[in-house]
Amino acid sequence: MSKTLLEQLREITTVVADTGDIEAIKLVKPQDATTNPSLITAAAQLPQYQPIVDEVLLDAKKKLGDDASDADVANLAFKHLAVAFGKRILEIIPGRVSTEVDARLSYNTDATLQQAREIIAQYKEQGVSKERILVKIASTWEGIKAAEILEKEGIHCNLTLLFGLHQAIACAEAGVTLISPFVGRILDWYKKSTGKDYVGADDPGVQSVTKIYTYYKKFGYKTVVMGASFRNIGEIQELAGCDLLTISPNLLHELEAKTGDLPRKLDPETAKQQEVEKLTIDKAKFEEMHAADPMAHDKLKEGIEGFSAALENLEKLLAKRLTELGASQEKETVGAH
């Protein structure tokens, strides 16, 4: 019986599930899982996760007391919801979960530090060790500087919304645990700007991750690369051998349904043989390279705006649910009399 593409991939790459859907994670049995504001917002709207949402809301109400406004209760619940999902996910995976800092803090080092520490404290309260958490932070200069401080405190970070080599080098220099370069979003940008389609090794997202992986292995950085945001399994096949790949459940099922040969494309020994120029990235160099890369510039900005909008939707969703809970509790009180 020939092996599936997913079985072969698991032999050379750590497979991570990119979803907030707990049932989907149970089915695909990944090592780790990643969530983001859009994924948590989507999961929070599924009827099977309503009890998690309700529990977090009622807990927030209890903490703040009956006099607290609905807005304050929804805001506190919002800060705890990603951790509530993360804790459930950790009950079914052996590895780590990535939980994201509020995207609206992406350009504020101090606020990012404060929230990252809060996330770790919330997990600790739930009996979860910080070794099982990756705090997810956008790869702005300010985010990378926050991650550098957090790593020294023993808090592991996953730097996300990463599109350019300058971001990747700054992350490695800062000693972050893991980066998530976004393959599919890079492809989206090039398809839109050139009107062309790209397949296989010609995919600019694949090329970007290959370049970053090669740079890291060539210069012996400890930071690991986790390719993310895939549009098709072709992109995943081109990155077989990458340290980790975080993949949506539908693409994991597609890999599981296919057999055939999956050759290793990324290999540390091959990377070490490549001719690569070593760069030094300070703030000025980072900003200069970022401005010179319209794709990275556009996609970072768009990603932060997109995640921020998802968070605003989630806040509205929680406020609406709180009103519904209040109304049903009132009904029960009236019924009891």
Q: Is 127 exposed, middle or buried (0-12, 13-18, 19+ CB in 10 A)?
A: exposed
pLDDT higher than threshold 80 for residue 332: no
Distance (Å, rounded) from C-alpha 3 to C-alpha 115? 43
Q: Which residues contact 78 (CB under 8 A, 6 or more apart)?
A: 311, 314, 315, 318
Partners of 136 in the beta sheet?
A: 100, 158
Architecture of domain 5-29+98-307: Alpha-Beta Barrel (3.20)
What are the distances in angstroms from CA 211 to CA 147, 168, 191, 218, 292? 22, 10, 20, 10, 17
Structure tokens at 258: 């296919």
Helix axes 165-173, 204-218, angle to 10 degrees: 30
Q: Which residue from 239, 246, 245 is spatially nearest to 265, judged by alpha carbons?
A: 239
pLDDT higher than threshold 80 for residue 94: yes
Indicate which residues carry an active-site annotation.
136
Structure tokens at 273: 């043989």
Distance (Å, rounded) from C-alpha 150 to C-alpha 217? 23
Q: pLDDT tens digits, residue range 310-331? A: 999 999 999 999 999 888 876 7
Partners of 244 in the beta sheet?
A: 14, 226
Higher pLDDT, 13 or 2: 13
Give the model's pLDDT for residue 329.
Answer: 74
Helix (H), strand (E) at residue 204: helix 204-218
Contact yes or no for 141/282 (Cβ under 8 A): no
| Ranges of each domain in the chain | 5-29+98-307
pTM to 2 decimal places: 0.94
3-state class (DSSP) for residue 33: strand
What string of DSSP letters covers 95-112? S-EEEEPPGGGTT-HHHH
Q: Which residue from 15, 20, 39, 26 is spatially nearest to 92, judged by alpha carbons?
A: 26
* Percentage of the residues of the chain whose pLDDT score is greater than 90: 91
Q: pLDDT tens digits, residue range 141-163? A: 999 999 999 999 999 999 999 99
Q: pLDDT tens digits, residue range 24-76? A: 999 999 999 999 988 999 999 999 999 999 999 999 999 999 899 888 898 88
The span from the first CA to the last CA of the chain, in angstroms, equals 67
Q: Residue 1: pLDDT band by 50, 70, 90 thresholds?
A: confident
